Amino acid sequence: MYNLILFGPPGSGKGTQAQLLVDKHDFLHISTGDMFREELSRNTPLGQEARSYMDAGHLVPDEVTIAMLRKRVDQHPDVTGIIFDGFPRTDPQAAALNDLMREKDTQINALILLDVDVDTIVQRILGRAATSGRADDLKEDVIRTRYRNFVNYTSPVYDFYDELGLARRVDGTLTPEAVAAEIDAIIGEGLQND
């Protein structure tokens, strides 16, 4: 089993690359955003618990998010690998994810940062705004704030995995096919080392 974290700011191409990996390797793609939306729309017990925090204006605690991740992983015991997209966002979440993987007798094999500069991110998100329907995709200042928030609050997770020797950078400004080739090379190296 090969497990990786696709990491990068909004608009870096994580969704595109995740779909390419699912198509090629039959990996399970776990997007925490999609996972939350599904749990909320189905009004599951975990969704109800998350909603209670969100309705009060609070962040959903890591324990609830990890419980959702555990549920999703448990629903797919025979996958060849898992792509985590949008999680972890903090060092404590990274430690919790590593604990979950150990419980499942596996591990995170790589964190792959799709490295994209802020100006490219702005162009991409403004370009997709016509189809995304997201209000936060329409304003350049909001996009730049989202990018800064990633750099300031989420990028330390890269250092967490770098200290474990698992963090890799890929130039996310390349074509989707070139990015996919670099990611495949990283996965290939990891599979050879197992």
> Binding residue per annotation — 13?
yes
Cβ atoms 114, 12 nearer than 8 A: yes
Contacts of 115 (CB under 8 A, 6+ apart): 8, 12, 169, 170, 171, 172, 173
How far does the chain reach from its first CA to its final CA, in angstroms? 10
> Binding residue per annotation — 22?
no
> Binding residue per annotation — 9?
no
Concerning whether 51 is annotated as a catalytic residue, the answer is no
Task: Single out the catalytic residue among 102, 134, 139, 148.
Answer: 134
> Binding residue per annotation — 93?
yes
Concerning whether 144 is annotated as a catalytic residue, the answer is no
> Binding residue per annotation — 70?
no
> Binding residue per annotation — 100?
no
Task: Single out the catalytic residue among 24, 71, 102, 128.
Answer: 128
Concerning whether 102 is annotated as a catalytic residue, the answer is no
Report the alpha-carbon distance of residue 89 to residue 147 in Å, rounded.
13
> Binding residue per annotation — 46?
no
- Beta-sheet strand order (sheet of 2-7): 28-31, 81-85, 2-7, 110-115, 167-171
- Going by C-alpha positions, the residue among 3, 10, 72, 83 that lies closest to residue 36 is 72
Report the alpha-carbon distance of residue 47 to residue 163 in Å, rounded.
34
> Binding residue per annotation — 146?
yes
Task: Single out the catalytic residue among 14, 102, 124, 169.
Answer: 14
> Binding residue per annotation — 57?
no
Task: Single out the catalytic residue among 72, 124, 146, 168.
Answer: 146
| Residues of the binding site for ATP | 11-16, 128, 174
State the binding site. 11-16, 32, 37, 58-60, 86-89, 93, 128, 134, 146, 174
Binding residues for AMP: 32, 37, 58-60, 86-89, 93, 134, 146
Residues identified as active-site: 14, 89, 128, 134, 146
